[in-house]
Amino acid sequence: MLKIGDTIMLEPAGGEEEKYKSKVAEISDGYIHINYPINVKTEKTVFLLNGMQFKASFVGSDHCLYLFETEVIGKVRQPVPMVVLSYPGVDKLVRIQRRRYVRVEANTDVAIHPLHQEFMPFTTMTTDISAGGAAIVLPEHKQKQLLPGMVVEAWFVLAMKSGEYHYLKVKAKIARIFQAENSDIYKASLQFLDVSPQDRVRLIRYSFEQQLEIRKREEDIANKWRKSVE
């Protein structure tokens, strides 16, 4: 999976629009050593403090993107100065196919606006979302007003783990209208058309955080079940 010599990208967990680049120099159980990173914009060396938290990513040998949360836990000199990062291990990595963005279950507030006054704007929630699209719940009075192929403006509110909120305005095409399985609820599948690179990164970060939360909940349930049968 992660190998010595791989390029690793670091983005501050607090939401700052910075990106740092480095290479993996050593991999051990629970941590990795990287060269002092370079700021992608300024191309200058970045000095990281212990306790700083990041979202890390690298491209695996299968050409997929892998994400994990990490923290600076120290510095070493052997024989050159390196930064020590926490590493959760292969089982904790989140895999994202680069040719197709992975959708995750998420209830996110969204407002849908028409481009040409085909309907009155309305607010609803997503049932899943990715960097390439989303599924939204259709209010009953909107089920016949929205049609496949129609282009709309979608305004999303992304609540990040850091407490920060991102407000995204995205043009999207209605790919299909469908009824949820074993339910009276109708949904619309949206395909994003003009996402800026900055907003794409925010959507990927949000999806990553949602995947981690889902995984943590599943692990908590599994741990409670194991304790109950012991």
Local structure of 228: helix, strand or coil? helix
Handedness of CA 35, 213, 162, 190 (dihedral sign): positive
Local structure of 19: helix, strand or coil? coil
pLDDT at site 125? 96
Residue type, 128: D
Helices within the chain (DSSP H only)? 197-229
Mean pLDDT by 10 residues, the chain (230 residues): 91 78 93 94 91 90 84 89 94 71 87 92 94 92 88 94 89 92 90 85 87 83 76
The owner of tokens 């409670």 is 224
Ordered structural domains, the chain, with CATH: 6-96 (2.30.110.10), 103-196+206-224 (2.40.10.220)
On whether the CB atoms of residues 158 and 148 are closer than 8 A, the answer is: no
Tokens of 198: 């900055």
Dihedral class, residue 209 (left if φ above 0, else alpha if ψ from -120 to 50, else beta): alpha
